[in-house]
């Protein structure tokens, strides 16, 4: 659990780093009856995940210190809330629980943002910029409307600020991620017991995800991949509905999330419990690449350098064209977090996940661990999920 004071400290840090510019972070909008997925920047700053149409305004120029960081929430709608859940009124209790000294309804945001723009003449973009022809990011959309009404206002690019702050995890964040890893490890242990010829990929997916819940995971980190044979060579295979065949490998890419923070793990298992000589050869190459990448991970390094280390091993083994993705990425609130500059910093958690994919042989191998960058090197958070050939074969027996 992350305490309210940590969220407050994050917001104060953003206010300071804006250097006098005003900014706003939106929670996102609901899409009919589909589950609401909160904007992760908003969640990082507030801990609130079930309020669509909400926003946080940063206004360093506000005379009243209580108005420099303001939370905006949708108006109450008693009839709608009988369907979707009751919401709190704005009160001292709500302000204390949220950590905001000022909470208002969303209808007040345009006036306060416009007033801030008049004073500061600078509006900072914090949401990631969209790629055309997608709709523009929500803060850019709001700023356009303000700038049509307030001459002389400039927009500045601060889109790297929140990814940079989110990159290094606090002790509370790391605790949640370690809990996610523990639930994930339990899921993989359960899955290994069920893998056998004739079992369906869907059975393995169900065993993974139900075990996550039983061991403290309160969500799946992402859509699980359970791909046997040819399916294991498809990077984003999602059907998970085929019968597993004797003699094939099954690639599992699945993980639990706790408190919004996800693990990200991949393991490859022989369906019949024993690697063939060909499978073992390919598997050992991928494992060697993974271990070399982990050894290279340290503060000051870069993800593309880890990629080069893993790729060199796989290329020299003759599988250059079979390694078709990057070696890894940061994780946290998102399974693919945005690296602010590619530089590895203490407190970051990254994946390292080399792979070899041979559709013509119906053989795919990927192994993925979650690596915490420490002051002097790194620590493998998912080391306890077995991955050597001997460990896997012994575990499946």
Identify the CATH number of the domain in which residue 182 sits: 3.90.230.10
Pairing of strands 122-125, 154-157: parallel
Residue among 233, 231, 251 at smallest CA distance from 241: 231
Same domain, 257 and 179: yes
Name the least confident of 30-39, 281-290, 310-319. 30-39
**Which of 116, 136, 166 lies at the terminal end of a domain, its last residue?**
166
The pLDDT tens digits of the residues spanning 99-131 come to: 999 999 999 999 999 999 999 999 999 999 999
CB 371, CB 349: distance < 8 Å: yes
Give the pTM: 0.95
What integer is the mean pLDDT of 249-267?
98
Q: Is 30 left (phi over 0), alpha (psi -120 to 50) or beta?
A: beta
Same domain, 346 and 261: yes
d(CA 18, CA 123): 9
Give how many domains the chain has, as a whole number: 2
Same domain, 162 and 179: no
pLDDT of 319 over the 90 cut:
yes
pLDDT of 272 over the 80 cut:
yes
d(CA 181, CA 384): 9
**Which of 127, 149, 166 lies at the terminal end of a domain, its last residue?**
166
Report the share of the chain in percent with pLDDT over 70: 100
Alpha helices per DSSP H over 195-258: 201-214
Q: What's residue 33's pLDDT? A: 73
Confidence of residue 83 (pLDDT cuts 50, 70, 90): confident
CB 222, CB 264: distance < 8 Å: yes
Residue with tokens 């900014």: 23
Q: What's residue 213's pLDDT? A: 98
CB 229, CB 245: distance < 8 Å: yes
Give the pair of three-digit tokens for residue 176.
Answer: 């949640």
CB atoms near residue 352 (< 10 Å)? 28
Same domain, 197 and 237: yes
**Mean pLDDT across the chain, nearest whole number?**
96
Same domain, 122 and 271: no
Identify the CATH number of the domain in which residue 109 sits: 3.40.350.10
d(CA 394, CA 397): 5
Q: What's residue 327's pLDDT? A: 96
pLDDT of 165 over the 80 cut:
yes
**Quick one: CA torsion of 296, 298, 300, 304, rounded to 10 degrees?**
40
What integer is the mean pLDDT of 371-380?
96
**Which of 166, 198, 224 lies at the terminal end of a domain, its last residue?**
166
DSSP symbols for 293-308: HHHH--TT-BHHHHHH
CA distances (Å), origin 155, targets 122, 124, 363:
6, 6, 51
Same domain, 76 and 143: yes
The pLDDT tens digits of the residues spanning 285-317 come to: 999 999 999 999 999 999 999 999 999 999 999
CB 219, CB 255: distance < 8 Å: no
What integer is the mean pLDDT of 223-245?
97
What integer is the mean pLDDT of 40-69?
96
pLDDT of 338 over the 90 cut:
no
Same domain, 16 and 149: yes
CB atoms near residue 65 (< 10 Å)? 9
d(CA 367, CA 355): 7
Same domain, 180 and 251: yes
pLDDT of 183 over the 80 cut:
yes
What integer is the mean pLDDT of 175-190?
98
Tell me, rounded to whole angstroms, the distance of Cα 329 from its chain centroid: 10
d(CA 375, CA 234): 36
Same domain, 125 and 190: no
What integer is the mean pLDDT of 162-185?
97
Q: What's residue 320's pLDDT? A: 97
Residues near 222 by Cβ (< 8 Å), separated by ≥ 6? 254, 255, 262, 264, 335
Compute the chain's Rg from CA coordinates: 24
**Residues of the domain holding 199:** 168-396
Same domain, 172 and 90: no
pLDDT of 139 over the 90 cut:
yes
What integer is the mean pLDDT of 260-269?
98
Confidence of residue 35 (pLDDT cuts 50, 70, 90): confident
Same domain, 191 and 308: yes
Same domain, 332 and 320: yes
């Amino acid at each position: 659990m992350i305490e309210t004071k940590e969220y407050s400290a994050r917001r104060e840090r953003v206010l300071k780093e804006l250097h006098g510019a005003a900014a706003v972070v939106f929670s996102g909008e609901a899409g009919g009856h589909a589950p609401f997925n909160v904007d992760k920047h908003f969640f990082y700053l507030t801990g609130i995940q079930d309020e669509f149409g909400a926003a946080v305004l940063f206004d360093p120029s506000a005379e009243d210190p209580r108005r420099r960081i303001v939370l905006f929430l949708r108006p109450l709608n008693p009839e709608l809330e009988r369907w979707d859940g009751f919401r709190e009124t704005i009160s001292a209790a709500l302000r204390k629980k949220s950590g905001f000294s000022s909470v208002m309804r969303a209808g007040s945001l345009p006036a306060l943002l416009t007033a801030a723009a008049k004073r500061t003449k600078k509006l900072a973009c914090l949401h990631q910029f969209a790629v055309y022809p997608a709709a523009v990011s929500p803060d850019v959309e709001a700023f356009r409307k303000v700038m049509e009404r307030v001459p002389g206002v400039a927009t500045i690019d601060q889109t790297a600020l929140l990814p940079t702050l989110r990159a290094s995890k606090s002790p509370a964040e790391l605790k949640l991620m370690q809990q996610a890893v523990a639930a994930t490890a339990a899921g993989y242990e359960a899955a290994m017991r069920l893998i056998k010829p004739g079992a369906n990929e869907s059975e393995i997916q169900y065993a993974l995800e139900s075990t996550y819940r039983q061991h403290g995971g309160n969500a799946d980190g992402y859509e699980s991949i359970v791909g046997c044979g040819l399916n294991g060579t498809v990077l984003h295979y999602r059907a998970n509905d085929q019968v597993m065949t004797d003699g094939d490998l099954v690639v599992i890419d699945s993980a639990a999330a706790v408190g919004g923070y996800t693990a990200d793990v991949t393991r490859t298992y022989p369906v019949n419990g024993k690697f063939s000589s060909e499978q073992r050869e390919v598997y050992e190459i991928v494992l060697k690449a993974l271990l070399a990448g982990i050894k290279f991970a340290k503060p000051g390094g870069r993800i593309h350098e880890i990629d080069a280390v893993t790729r060199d091993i796989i290329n020299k083994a003759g599988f250059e064209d079979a390694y078709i993705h990057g070696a890894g990425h940061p994780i946290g609130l998102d399974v693919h977090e945005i690296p602010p500059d590619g530089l590895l910093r203490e407190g970051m958690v990254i994946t390292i996940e080399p792979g070899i994919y041979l559709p013509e042989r119906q053989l795919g191998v990927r192994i993925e661990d979650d690596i915490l960058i420490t002051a002097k090197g790194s620590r493998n958070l998912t080391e306890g999920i077995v991955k050597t050939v001997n460990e896997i074969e012994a575990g499946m027996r």
